[in-house]
Amino acid sequence: MKIAVLSDIHGNYVALQRCIEDALSKGVHSFIFLGDYVGELAYPQKTMEILNSLKEKYSCYFVKGNKEDYWINYERDGEKGWEEYDSTTGSLYYTYHNLVEDDLAFFKSLSHKAEISFDGLPKLTICHGSPNLVNEKMLPNHQKTFDIMEKDRNSLILCGHTHVQGVIEHGGKIALNPGAVGVSLHSGGKAQFLILTGVTGAWDYEFISLDYNVEQVILDLSSSGLSLKAPSWCRVSKHLLRTGEISHGTVLAKAMALCRDELGECNWPAIPEKYWEQAVAEMIGGMRQKHFVLENWESMERNCHNNLR
């Protein structure tokens, strides 16, 4: 038995399709999804169409992520607090207004964790953040993570949320993070997931990292109008998609710090656009320039080497 485990798609339907095709080519016929299906990127309806189609053909298991709570809570609270043209909430507004009633009903049907069993194999605990909370991170070498693992009754936990692929072992138990399909961190800009294989009463696992058409996803930000609705947010998205470095949360924290330094306080989501622009310029603009210089230096070295041959 082979099962593909996917998390944190964030609306990247191009990466999702690439991962599914790779999984099917490896003999996978069951899928586990760990939440955060849409958000950040363009055309969320395409991601939902892929998931709905997959549910009809294969065994699929789903839990909700923190993003699903965003859409559910926004509807419950009367659709207030998000702005259509704003780097803090523009992508949230855009995504929500591209969802349909069936999508929201599906999200509401999901639990923050589930227990799955397969004949002759150890039971699995699946969750987005942790078995306790949808937005709690299970981080390597943290006592809090070890405490969570000790309390869970199963020996294998599948979790996402951090966007970082990896394995945590403690007390004879294992927690596996498949990384992120859509906006993975420290990945070189690849789409990531995990394949579980049942072998003689135990689970074996393989981490997968794939190249895909990143530039198509970036073009979608413009063609959809999302880059106008959340300009600085989309600049972060483009950099993250291409490099796998610097998360939205990191830039958001910088923008809020700049806002507090000047205004004395800063409360989400009221973050003026100028602080976003400054944060992006300092954190990503500088890295982009450094990357450009490095590329040109390496190119000069190659040319010199070729001329000397």
The CATH number given to whatever domain includes residue 23 is 3.60.21.10
Q: What is the pLDDT, as a whole number, of residue 285?
A: 85
Enumerate residue ranges in the chain where pLDDT < 70. 286-309
Whether 204 and 268 map to the same domain: the answer is: no
Whether 126 and 50 map to the same domain: the answer is: yes
Q: What is the pLDDT, as a whole number, of residue 297?
A: 31
Q: What is the pLDDT, as a whole number, of residue 303?
A: 39
Whether 140 and 198 map to the same domain: the answer is: yes
Q: What is the pLDDT, as a whole number, of residue 286?
A: 54
> Can you tell me the distance from the alpha carbon of 177 to that of 193, in angstroms, rounded to the nearest whole number?
8
CB 51 within 8 A of CB 259: no
Whether 49 is covered by a domain: the verdict is: yes
Q: What is the pLDDT, as a whole number, of residue 296?
A: 37
Supply the angle between the helices 231-243 and 273-280 in degrees, to the nearest 10: 20
CB 173 within 8 A of CB 152: yes
Closest of 99, 95, 100, 71 to residue 84, by C-alpha: 95
Closest of 183, 179, 181 to residue 40, by C-alpha: 183
Whether 292 and 201 map to the same domain: the answer is: no
> Can you tell me the distance from the alpha carbon of 274 to that of 62, in angstroms, rounded to the nearest whole number?
39
Residue identified by tokens 């523009």 is 90
Whether 161 and 83 map to the same domain: the answer is: yes
Whether 108 is covered by a domain: the verdict is: yes
Whether 70 is covered by a domain: the verdict is: yes
Whether 182 and 254 map to the same domain: the answer is: no
Q: What is the pLDDT, as a whole number, of residue 298?
A: 33
Whether 45 and 118 map to the same domain: the answer is: yes
Whether 114 is covered by a domain: the verdict is: yes
Among candidate residues 163, 182, 210, the one where a domain is terminated? 210
Closest of 142, 136, 183, 143 to residue 164, by C-alpha: 183
Whether 31 and 143 map to the same domain: the answer is: yes
Whether 217 is covered by a domain: the verdict is: no
CA-only gyration radius of the chain, Å: 21
Q: What is the pLDDT, as a whole number, of residue 306?
A: 35
Whether 157 and 107 map to the same domain: the answer is: yes
- The pTM assigned to this predicted structure is 0.91
Whether 167 and 25 map to the same domain: the answer is: yes
Whether 240 is covered by a domain: the verdict is: no
Could you list the residue range(s) of the whole structural domain that residue 263 is in? 246-308
CB 163 within 8 A of CB 185: yes
**H/E stretch holding 157:** strand 156-158
Among candidate residues 166, 192, 210, the one where a domain is terminated? 210
Among candidate residues 165, 188, 210, the one where a domain is terminated? 210
Whether 130 is covered by a domain: the verdict is: yes
Whether 221 is covered by a domain: the verdict is: no
Whether 184 and 127 map to the same domain: the answer is: yes
Domain count, the chain: 2
Whether 197 and 259 map to the same domain: the answer is: no
Whether the ω angle into residue 269 lies within 30 degrees of 0, i.e. cis, is yes
pLDDT tens digits along 93-122: 999 999 999 999 999 999 999 999 999 999
